[in-house]
Amino acid sequence: MKTVLIPTKLDKVAANLLTQKGYTVIQDAETDLLALCKAHPETEALIVRSEKVTPEIMDVLPNLRAVVRAGAGYNTIDIKYVRRNNIDVMNTPGANSNGVAEEVIGMMLAASRFMIPADIDTRAGGWSKKKFMGHEITGKTLGIVGLGNIGQLVARRLSGFDMKILAYDPIVSKARAEELGVELVDLHTLFTNADYITLHIPENNETRGMLNKSLLDLVKPGAVIINCARAGIVNEDDLRAAKTEKKLVYCNDVYSADVPGPKSIADVADIMLPHLGANTSEANFNAAKRAGEELIEYFEQGITKFVVNKDLPDGLDPIYQRLANRLSATAKALLGGKEISAIRCSYYGALKPFAKWFTAPICAAISDSFDPHQSPEEAVNRLKETGVLFEVRDPDEKKPYGNSMTIDMEANGVKVSLRGTVTENTLTLSRVNDFNHIYLLMSGNLLFVEYVDRPGVLAKITAAVADAQINIEDIHAPRDAEGKRSLAVLYTDRALSAAQVAAIGKSVDARLIAGVHLPA
């Protein structure tokens, strides 16, 4: 089974999730990262926090396929190098957001009321109330640069302080901003009018050094600037000059490297914290859990939703790749796991232009040896090599199927046809053969039984499941249009064994029967 290396102090939930799935997990935050990697060259995935993943690290891991950053930013990972070496990088956006948002608010309050120097002075025996005359944040103007997960949470949390909130984000819609009680403005307006400015943007070629003299010249005297994003977005020399001239207050939690030692910003920062934004037990748990879940989905289902360096076309929601994978896995199970001879697919609505991107998830569902992250061309070649006829049909545009897909599969002359879609971000099976409009959730343990319609059959099936000491969570029992055949689909809390499934099929003379297990 795959080996996952976690060289960081991360909540054990990630290791536990992976271990339960049969992965070999080594979690060691004490050993030097390079030495640890050299000791485990079989590693196929890394889960890191702020550790730097350099070419040297990757070169000693010849089997490395994925790196998960348990957090949002991934500037500590050499993105270009991993792409050249076909290594995927994932992150866990949103997992740490609340911790960082609360830290921003804590810094605002601490800076405005001189809490840190006042504490030091009072402990030393002082009583300098006049010296520490502060300011209230209620009624002031807040400027948020970057209205992503963290920026939005800052806006929500501070709404109770009756602040006027300005925000700059070229991606966020005006309607979304209005929902948050935020006014979208340009950077000039934001830096000119804000009493407090908090930065929540990534560091990249476009944003590096963005907070420089041109923007700092606009800022009000005495304004408070908070950086819990990335160190590189601030030009320290320009900030140093502006602070002296305008008596700005600067709060900082990010550095060029997360290591002990002197910091270049020390003479500028009024509050300095050792990158504590995500340093809460809740954020650690959330990020760890998300990282473990993402790796499981990545390896077992080919889900690439959180891959930040993937080569996937704009406009394609990766959830439809998952749909293609599960439809194919279900079809294979309904065919009794027999060797597939033909697959024919139709893609409707907005999915039609992305047809080729579903081939790898389909191929992975019917072949355990095929890596779902291989290219569409490699998937087509694999199907040809194994003798599977693969065809993508032109859809009938007149059919009102929306964004859905049909996958027909054949084995030993037996055919199965499934249609699926995504409803409220949920994978949904809408048709099985001639049984239309069934809308089944594609997760958990399912038992499919197709039989000639007659009284008493469903009772026999449910009784057999009960006799096996297995609970039934839900039942769908549609009939075909002519009322001659019925399909029973049972959701159970545990999977039935192959012998139990076969016995049920024999007892009701099933035309088709299969137990299917799909991830939650």
Question: 320-421 — its CATH code?
Answer: 3.30.1330.90
Question: CA 247, CA 249: separation in Å to the nearest integer?
Answer: 7
- pLDDT value of residue 170: 85
CATH superfamily to which 97-272 belongs: NAD(P)-binding Rossmann-like Domain (3.40.50.720)
Alpha helix (H) residue ranges in 91-158: 97-112, 115-123, 149-158
Cβ contact 422:320 at 8 Å: yes
- pLDDT value of residue 230: 92
- Residue 377: CB atoms within 10 A of its CB come to 11
DSSP 328-343: HHHHHHHTTTPPP-EE
pLDDT < 50 regions, the chain? none
CATH class of 443-520: alpha beta
pLDDT digits (tens, 9 = 90+) for 22-32: 999 999 999 99
- Would the CATH topology of 3-92+282-301 be identical to that of 320-421? no
Sorted by where each begins, the domain ranges of the chain are 3-92+282-301, 97-272, 320-421, 443-520
Q: Does domain 3-92+282-301 have CATH number 1.20.210.10?
A: no
pLDDT digits (tens, 9 = 90+) for 59-100: 999 999 999 999 877 878 887 788 778 899 999 988 889 999
- pLDDT value of residue 285: 94
- pLDDT value of residue 334: 94
**pTM confidence score:** 0.58
Q: How many CA atoms lie within 13 A of 251 on its CB side?
A: 25
Output the six-digit token pair for 210: 């963005």
DSSP 274-307: SS-TT-SHHHHHHHHHHHHHHHHHHHHH---TTB
